[in-house]
Amino acid sequence: DAKTTQPNSMESNEEEPVHLPCNHSTISGTDYIHWYRQLPSQGPEYVIHGLTSNVNNRMASLAIAEDRKSSTLILHRATLRDAAVYYCILGYNQGGKLIFGQGTELSVKP
């Protein structure tokens, strides 16, 4: 299973954009890039996923490097409710199993 590397923690100020990086240098052509986030004592919440092109939804944007060896999750205006652990995960096609790493713990300061 291809692995991802994320910073252990990041800090952000409320109402400012947040860029969460993820490196996946061993990604294969069929691996999708998935982002989930998790609050304490809750199941992970789906954020966004993509294959090659940048993706936008109401929660976030996903910017994928041209060589696909890295990606960035962008929260356009951080709120206190965005404080969570963010996981970047590679999955085979769209239906493959997801192997979670340690993720990035995002804290948001008022």
DSSP string of 6-62, one letter each residue: --SEEEEETTS-EEEEEE-TT--TTEEEEEEEE-TTS--EEEEEESSS-EE-SS-EE
Select from 9-17, 23-31, 42-50, 64-72 the region that touches another protein (CB under 8 A).
42-50
Among 4, 22, 36, 78, the residue binding another protein under the rule CB under 8 A is 36
In total, the chain counts a number of residues equal to: 110
Task: Tell me which DSSP letter residue 93 carries.
Answer: B
97 binds another protein, rule: CB under 8 A: yes
Nearest distance from C-beta of residue 100 to another protein, angstroms: 4
List residues binding another protein (CB under 8 A).
Answer: 32, 34, 36, 38, 41-46, 49, 87, 91, 94-95, 97-103
